[in-house]
Amino acid sequence: MTLTPKDCLYIEDSINASVLLNKQLNCEMEKLEDEQAKELVSKVCTVLKEQAEELLKVMEG
């Protein structure tokens, strides 16, 4: 699969958005008192991290 420069920019934007959202969720998670909510946010953060890593692999070829 060949990526165009536009594809790479789109993937880069997606990675940046995932990283930013992950940071924001981690900050908000510290404020949560409900353990179930914390667990759910933690799972979302894990998925975001995994997706960003997969996108990086795609970019690396």
Please, which pLDDT band fits residue 15 given cuts at 50, 70 and 90?
A: very high
Domain count, the chain: 1
Residues contacting 55, CB < 8 A, separation 6+:
11, 14, 15, 18
- For tokens 């060949």, the residue is 2
Tokens of 47: 């998925």
Cβ neighbours, 10 Å, residue 37: 12
pLDDT for position 58:
85
pLDDT at residue 61 is higher than 80: no
SS3 43: helix
Distance of CA 25 to the CA centre of its chain: 10
Give the residue numbers spanning the domain of 42: 5-60
Mean pLDDT of 14-43: 95
Its pTM stands at: 0.80
